Chains A and B, each alone.
Chain A
């Protein structure tokens, strides 16, 4: 179970998170939606202690992590997988080495087993045969999928995805959505997806949190969210800009 209590984060004068409260139960699939630049990626990084809040607390299974040392956090993070928005592949390594990286700390695995697990993960994200390439030789969407393979290869109990389908074509997007859903249902992985893609939300999430102006503005079951009459929520869900959002 992941819980955030009143987390606030400020960069200079900009209050990115302004008291976020949330609670995600084990095995649940939750989507976090919100405007670009609204602090979704920042929020996700707080949930695994990559950033520590200025105020508030994050609890993982009741353990407060906001002020643990980096070394204490490593143990907590072993159960987490995070797909970065930018994929964040190690560019000095091949795709295969990237995906194998989290497995290398498991001393019981032989290199043949590691190779098998890596190939399996690459096939799951529809990237078979790219293992020998370097991240620089991949397209943006392929990098995203390689990052996804790296996040799921060690079968973590909690998976956080930062815009997993952004920049992918609709068909691959759909297969990634199915993959995320499958991981959640078959392995009972707790799933948190940050996304702008309403199709993904529908396909994956049981519950949706909307981050708006640094707070959780809406917290609703997926079907309720799509039926919502709240102007902010329905404008986002339907994708309509109001006159003040127009650039000109």
Chain B
């Protein structure tokens, strides 16, 4: 993906929807219609901070057929290396940003009889557009939404008003847990489960569904990957014979972009597979942070997803 795919938008509205979450409404700078998207899609938002460019994926929350504006919501992350902080502190009504075209790695299954949505915290965002779409289609769905407290949960009132008893809220500070095992038992054939939230919650939900005898094809998840930072290392590019230093707070992809090298990417979250790169040599170990490569591929050490994975060691040689 290159700059030509980017669309310039400006912020039309900012709203604080929970103690650490802000919602942004984006419109085309020339008020041209935006592309339609499908429920569960996200865009990559490109932010021009003082010293660097930050690109983070954010899920689209509005109605998929509404082309007048897009809505995203951003959680302010502690120890953020930039993106979410920038959105909270620097982005106001009128700020211009660039976004990619929508991409969907988390669509609802077309042939499902029922959709069981499980959200934790900011993981509610992809379900906002998904529910819009499912509701318009008259599909059967229910949302189980866990939040830390009433103050930290976004959109609770709005969701209950819009979808009534199809929404179940669970407040962590009142010891309410999503009773997933019970929810998943006695569902008729054709039910699909979707989960988005913190990694431990995703892992727990996937495990619970598998132990309930649900086939992999009926279980879906999206992880908002925020991989750990590390130590600086050198990337040697075999084809272009260049050497680039990747900072401890940078991904390989970001370091390449900073040095004017265009590498392919779509999701920037280790999910889509677009940035898969051949490793021709590694002076250290690859820290695989993606959920795209198979265990065998990870173990082989021949491939790396440069949007999220790094190495612990001195240098890695890539086929670029």
Q: Do A and B bind each other?
A: no
Interfacial residues, chain B to chain A (CB-CB below 8 A): none
A: residues with CB less than 8 A from B are none
